Structure 1
Amino acid sequence: MFLRKSVLLASCLLALGSPVWAAPEVTYDFGQPAPAAKATRSVEVVMADMTFTPKSIEIKAGETVRIVLVNKGQLLHEFNLGDAAMHARHQQEMLQMQQSGMLTPTGMKAMDHGAMAGMGHAMQHDDPNSVLVAPGKTAELTWTFSKATRLEFACNIPGHYQAGMVGKLTVSQ
């Protein structure tokens, strides 16, 4: 009996520690998140209701930039790095979060969202290229930009992108 329980326990521990259970690591062809200490400069982006200031950011390939996000609006806003196709996909996820009641105009509700259907993964907002900023709050995103490209920074909360809350981010050689 003891041996059977020991083997069962060992099997469970091996299964839980197996890479098969690990979530796949998300990668971005335009760079990766970095610690703030690695930043060579900081850029402040002010979020108001349906606008970003500045509307464009210029960065050099290989540069690590600390982006300080200040929400001076009355609504919850998002800062998300990506191309137009990534934003379109993320907007659908954000819409589902809103429809589920998880995303409100001024914040995120804590709820058991892992069981929600249709996402293909647990519904959450934890992408490394994205940060939510509550009204009156400040947040940061530090990123190393790996290659020359043209990106957008956008708020993908339903209706915000469409209302013009999008900017251009150009990474040059």
Structure 2
Amino acid sequence: MHKTLASLAAGLVLVAATGTTLAHENHGAKPQGAATLAPEQKPWGIAGEARAVTRTIDIAMADDMSFTPSMIEVREGETVRLQLKNRGQELHELVLGTKAEIEAHAAMMRKFPGMEHDDPWMAHVPAGKTGAMVWTFNRAGDFDFACLVDDHYELGMAGRIRVLAATAKP
């Protein structure tokens, strides 16, 4: 009887381990046909669709901690492609947001420097490479963008986006 209980216990451990392994292999897998989450509305707009782009704005990033241009003007409701060119030797990024959101995110990056993040309102561009972001600016107001890599923001790598109300004169 002791031998039977030992065999039964060993079998249960094997089944439990196999179930755990199988569950781990599927961890994070999306079921077929799963719906894609809708874009998240932010105070500064929402992720845009490439087919809705009305113009492209070229922005250069450099190791002197600058964006060129550092001031951009768009119209409320406009979907633009921000075409990013990293002219430097370091990784740079462009993160859109309100001043408060960017400062909170910068504080979190200082606390957790290796933190990885990938949201539609940010684009990481390796040295010498290009990147892009498509964004619909559907809220009027003044918003910010910055590079939050290392201490780039603290060194002044930031810019401004003015979203003119749809009814405002250019």
Give the TM-score taking structure 2 as reference length: 0.70
Q: Distance in 2 between matches of 1:97 and 1:152?
A: 22
Q: Does 2:133 match 1:141?
A: yes
Alignment identity in percent?
A: 40
Q: Distance in 2 between matches of 1:39 and 1:26?
A: 18
Q: Distance in 1 between matches of 2:40 and 2:139?
A: 18
Taking a change above 3 Å as real, the CA distance of residues 40 and 26 of structure 1, as seen in their structure-2 partners, is closer
What's the counterpart of residue 70 of structure 2? 55
Structure 1 residues without counterparts, runs of 5 or longer: 1-11, 18-22, 103-122
Deviation at residue 24 of structure 1 after TM alignment: 10
Q: Does 2:102 match 1:87?
A: yes
Q: Does 2:133 match 1:132?
A: no
Q: Distance in 2 between matches of 1:94 and 1:35?
A: 28
Cα deviation, 1:25-66, whole Å, max 9, x if unaligned, reads 743022111122210000000000101000100000000000
1:91/1:158 contact within 8 Å kept: no
Q: Distance in 2 between matches of 1:67 and 1:35?
A: 12
What's the counterpart of residue 155 of structure 1? 147
What's the counterpart of residue 116 of structure 1? none
Find the partner of 1:46 among 38, 42, 60: 60
What's the counterpart of residue 9 of structure 1? none
Q: Does 2:50 match 1:36?
A: yes
What's the counterpart of residue 87 of structure 2? 72
What's the counterpart of residue 27 of structure 1? 41
Q: Distance in 2 between matches of 1:168 and 1:30?
A: 11
Structure of higher RCO (CA pairs closer than 8 Å, 6+ residues apart): 1
Q: Secondary structure at the match of 2:108?
A: helix
* Pairs within 5 Å for 1:99-110: 102=114
Q: Secondary structure at the match of 2:83?
A: strand
1:68/1:138 contact within 8 Å kept: yes
Taking a change above 3 Å as real, the CA distance of residues 124 and 27 of structure 1, as seen in their structure-2 partners, is farther
**1:165 counterpart letter in structure 2:** M
Q: Secondary structure at the match of 1:30?
A: coil
Taking a change above 3 Å as real, the CA distance of residues 25 and 33 of structure 1, as seen in their structure-2 partners, is closer
Deviation at residue 92 of structure 1 after TM alignment: 2.5
**1:58 counterpart letter in structure 2:** E
Count residues in correspondence: 134
Cα deviation, 1:92-116, whole Å, max 9, x if unaligned, reads 3322442xxx3xxxxxxxxxxxxxx
Give the TM-score taking structure 1 as reference length: 0.69
Taking a change above 3 Å as real, the CA distance of residues 66 and 24 of structure 1, as seen in their structure-2 partners, is closer
RMSD: 2.7
**1:75 counterpart letter in structure 2:** E
